[in-house]
Structure 1
Amino acid sequence: MALFYPSDWRPFYFKAPYTRNLIRNCSGQDGLKHGWNILENGGNYWKVEKDHGGSDDLPEEALALSNNVSYNFATSYGWCSMEQIIDLTKEGVSEELLDGEIQPDIVVTEWYAARFDCGNTYEMSVTLLTKPKLEKKYTLAEFNVGPVLTPQWAPRNWNKVEHVFCDYGPGLRYIRFFHKGKDTQFWAGHYGCKMAGAQVRIQFKEEMQGSRPKQREVIKSNPETQLTLKEDEDEDIYD
């Protein structure tokens, strides 16, 4: 027997929220503004790159999210940050499912990289919300990475951050995805960290098999990178 039957099958079929990435324009393939709200645009501003200047080529897993066309966001010498707020019900996710006894996992990932010739800083945060406001009273769970400090002359490979939210309770309606970065040497141009392959997905598989994983995160990064990871802390990051 199926674990969940939607009361209205039309969003299930036509919006297909359970089989796609809910982040729009995950690597900059549609430009800078589509899907994203730019919060800080320091230095020489945000930029979309196709050649990944100074870094390795994107891994195939990240490329697949932008139809195998190679793009990434690049930051500058001043803070560059942006956010995307996903309205889950507008995307077709059922409120009955989100509030039900058996909830799907929420899987979030992103890839980041440094140039070989310049140090940089990377941060990323994902917040599960009951309303589209970044306030504690509306927050069900959050996952924070950073600041990740990569020194000059470090490896130029791409690093993957991944986290799975589960057992987050009823009321989830919005997901905020936020990332920011800059270089650490104040060089004109775009020598700050690069981001690509931002992803938010609804995942059923492990629940359907009857298992309940604990919240977990995977961070694959260079051994020279200094990483601070914060999750579900009481630190006030809200407006």
Structure 2
Amino acid sequence: MSASEWKMKCEEEWGLQGAPMPDSVDWKSVYEARPLGRNLLKNPSPHGFSKDMPPPNPERKWSMERYFHHPSEVDFSSWNISREYLPRDRSGIPSTAVVCGWTSQIWLSMEQIVDLKEEGLWDELLDEFQPEIVIQDWYEESRMNEHIYELHVKLLGAENDTVIAEHSVRPTEDLNSDSYIWKEVSHVFSGYGPGVRYIHFQHRLKEKVGEGIARGFHKTLVTDSSVIVRPTKTSSQSS
């Protein structure tokens, strides 16, 4: 196929009529990369679960299956991982008391940076057309704590340090609920302005570790995380 035929194929299959499509772009490479409509995050379900299946049975909450994941079941490849250990609350405990069991809480941070040019998108599309960037994530509801999940997403410039747009959310859990469902968190970036070249995706998940007679380990599970660039823009952007 000729360069013009590859360009036409991209335009027709992705509905890009009206979007800037300069001849200087390698349209064969763009088509093969398929940057539009696919999930640009790698390893979107590191805990090995899917939102299309219920979370692990809460009635088995003390079982090895529920709380102690075998290392082979957790795959953090492609994610940058860090942990923040929160101080224990010792208020109300006399200094002479013997503590037989206690728990510690940890924020597990998981992040990725998506290089939009490397994924096959081109400057003119990002700067002039500004397609919608759709963020979606699913985490497991639980009564572990009032705050067990955070999402922070930033659209970054070419130097990977200039924030052009950002979105953060920190849901509050219903501690009276026993539903244990997957909860959706989503956001659509549109009309964000020119210059976006990278997306920084980070979610923070609460973990609880018990020692002594409170021995145990609970993770907040996450699944089907996605960053998708859609070949559309909002009506407010349309010319």
Residue 8 of structure 1 pairs with residue 32 of structure 2 = no
Q: 1:164 to 1:126 in 2, by over 3 A?
A: same
Amino acid at match of 1:123: E
- Alpha-carbon separation, structure 2, partners of 1:10 and 1:141: 30
What is the aligned counterpart of 1:123 among 131, 143, 150? 150
TM-score by length of 2: 0.63
TM-score by length of 1: 0.63
Q: 1:185 to 1:37 in 2, by over 3 A?
A: closer
Q: 1:190 to 1:204 in 2, by over 3 A?
A: farther
Asked if the contact 1:77–1:192 (Cα under 8 Å) also holds between the matched residues in 2, the reply is no
- Alpha-carbon separation, structure 2, partners of 1:82 and 1:141: 20
| Residues paired across the two proteins, number | 173
1:1-60, Cα deviation, whole Å (9 max, x unpaired): 5423252202321111103100111011595332110022759xxxxxxxxxxxxxxxxx
Could you tell me which residue of structure 2 aligns to residue 201 of structure 1?
228
Amino acid at match of 2:144: C
Q: Taking every aligned residue pair, what percent have the same amino acid on both sides?
A: 35
Q: 1:189 to 1:14 in 2, by over 3 A?
A: farther
Amino acid at match of 1:24: K
- Alpha-carbon separation, structure 2, partners of 1:190 and 1:24: 26
Residue 95 of structure 1 pairs with residue 123 of structure 2 = yes
2:77 counterpart SS class = coil
- Alpha-carbon separation, structure 2, partners of 1:2 and 1:127: 27
Runs of 4+ in 1 over 3 A off after TM superposition: 117-120, 147-150, 183-190
Cα offset, 1:151, TM superposition = 2.2
Cα offset, 1:172, TM superposition = 0.4
1:170-215, Cα deviation, whole Å (9 max, x unpaired): 11010010011214685654424221111101112355xxx237xx
What is the aligned counterpart of 1:79 among 83, 107, 110? 107
Which runs of no fewer than 5 residues in structure 1 stay unpaired? 44-75, 214-239
Residue 37 of structure 1 pairs with residue 80 of structure 2 = yes
Cα offset, 1:96, TM superposition = 1.6
- Alpha-carbon separation, structure 2, partners of 1:20 and 1:32: 21
- Alpha-carbon separation, structure 2, partners of 1:203 and 1:36: 23
Residue 163 of structure 1 pairs with residue 187 of structure 2 = yes
Q: 1:151 to 1:130 in 2, by over 3 A?
A: same
Asked if the contact 2:141–2:173 (Cα under 8 Å) also holds between the matched residues in 1, the reply is no
Amino acid at match of 1:181: L
User: Which one has a larger percent helix, Structure 1 or Structure 2?
Assistant: 2
Amino acid at match of 2:21: Y
- Alpha-carbon separation, structure 2, partners of 1:150 and 1:190: 21
Could you tell me which residue of structure 2 aligns to residue 230 of structure 1?
none
1:3 counterpart SS class = coil
